[in-house]
């Protein structure tokens, strides 16, 4: 889900932007702006792949380019080939990504009814990745009930962190876990996408991912600061990877 929601959606973002851009220089500036924005952590791999792809085009002789594309300027060649490159990977990932892992764990039935992006009027269109747009009632409350002990251990571990070391994200995670455990488990309030409680899910999503990982597996993450106390609380092993600089 994370790869589909993140990496795939960023490919679509670039594709649609390029379709709607008249000048190659405008798209180049857009890529440059992304490279220096907070999004670079998510877009780094895509931008690196595009850069290598453009290098292969630049190395071709003018005669070779003219033979393939006819008498058009280089900016139009770059646009056509880049759209083809992005379109291939979007379609490849749509078909292959679920088959690249051994099992897809989704006991809460998150996003099961979202349609795959389709090209309409030249751009990829997909429904927003938000729970209220789902027609399937998720099983989040049942999942929290079944794993209440683990979520309580995580909450207690996070609450034990010294206040000066708790950042805004951890504060939100503590708050969401408190509300879910107290109001929706102990007091038995309704809790699902139908009740518009999706923000609670997102705010404690790192805790959900860690609990979701089967025993004996590694919790792969790129933020050790947040995952270390979560994994320690429930005796899960984790491995952290570095984001692109």
Question: Are 140 and 235 found together in one domain?
Answer: yes
- Residue at 181 is within a domain: yes
The string of pLDDT tens digits covering residues 96-120 is 555 555 566 788 877 777 667 788 8
Residues 188 and 140 placed together within one structural domain of the fold: yes
Same domain, 217 and 146: yes
For the chain, first and last CA: distance in Å?
A: 24
Assigned domain for 110 exists: no
Q: What is the pTM of this model?
A: 0.67
35 CA to centre of own chain:
18
Phi, psi of 197 (to 5 degrees): -105, 20
Q: Does residue 23 fall inside a structural domain? A: yes
Q: Is residue 177 part of a domain?
A: yes
Per-residue tens of pLDDT for the chain, all 245 residues: 455 556 777 888 889 989 988 888 888 888 878 777 666 666 766 777 787 888 887 777 777 777 777 777 878 888 888 898 888 888 777 665 555 555 667 888 777 776 677 888 888 886 666 676 677 778 888 899 999 999 999 999 999 999 999 999 999 999 999 999 888 888 888 777 666 677 888 899 899 999 999 888 889 888 899 999 999 999 999 998 765 55
50, 84, 104 — which closes off a domain?
104
On whether both 141 and 233 belong to a single domain, the answer is: yes
Strand-pairing partners, residue 124, are 119
pLDDT tens string 215-230? 888 898 888 999 999 9
Domain range for 178 is: 134-240
Residue 127 lies in a domain: no
CA pair distance 128, 133, nearest whole angstrom = 7
Q: How many domains does the chain have?
A: 2
Does one domain contain both 138 and 100?
A: no
CB 138 within 8 A of CB 110: yes
| Helix 40-58 / helix 9-19 crossing angle, nearest 10 deg | 50
């Amino acid at each position: 889900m994370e790869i589909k929601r993140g990496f795939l959606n960023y490919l679509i973002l670039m594709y649609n932007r390029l379709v709607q851009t008249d000048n190659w220089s405008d798209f180049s500036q857009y890529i440059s702006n992304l490279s220096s924005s907070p999004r670079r952590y998510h877009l780094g791999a895509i931008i690196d792949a595009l850069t290598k792809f453009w290098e292969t085009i630049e190395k071709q002789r003018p005669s070779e380019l003219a033979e393939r594309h006819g008498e058009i300027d280089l900016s139009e060649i770059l646009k056509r080939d880049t759209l083809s490159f992005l379109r291939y990977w979007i379609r490849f990932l749509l078909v292959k990504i679920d088959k690249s892992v051994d099992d897809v764990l989704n006991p809460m039935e998150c996003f099961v009814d979202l349609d795959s992006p389709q090209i309409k009027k030249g751009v990829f269109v997909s429904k927003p990745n938000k729970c209220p747009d789902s027609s399937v009632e998720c099983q989040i409350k049942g999942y929290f009930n079944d794993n209440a002990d683990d979520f309580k251990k995580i909450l207690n571990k996070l609450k034990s962190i010294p206040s000066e070391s708790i950042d805004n994200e951890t504060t939100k995670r503590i708050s969401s876990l408190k509300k879910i455990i107290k109001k929706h488990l102990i007091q038995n309030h309704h809790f699902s996408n139908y009740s518009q409680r999706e923000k609670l899910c997102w705010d404690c999503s790192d805790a959900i991912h860690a609990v979701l990982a089967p025993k004996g597996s590694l919790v792969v993450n790129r933020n050790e600061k947040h995952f270390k106390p979560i994994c320690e609380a429930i005796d899960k092993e984790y491995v952290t990877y570095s984001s692109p600089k």
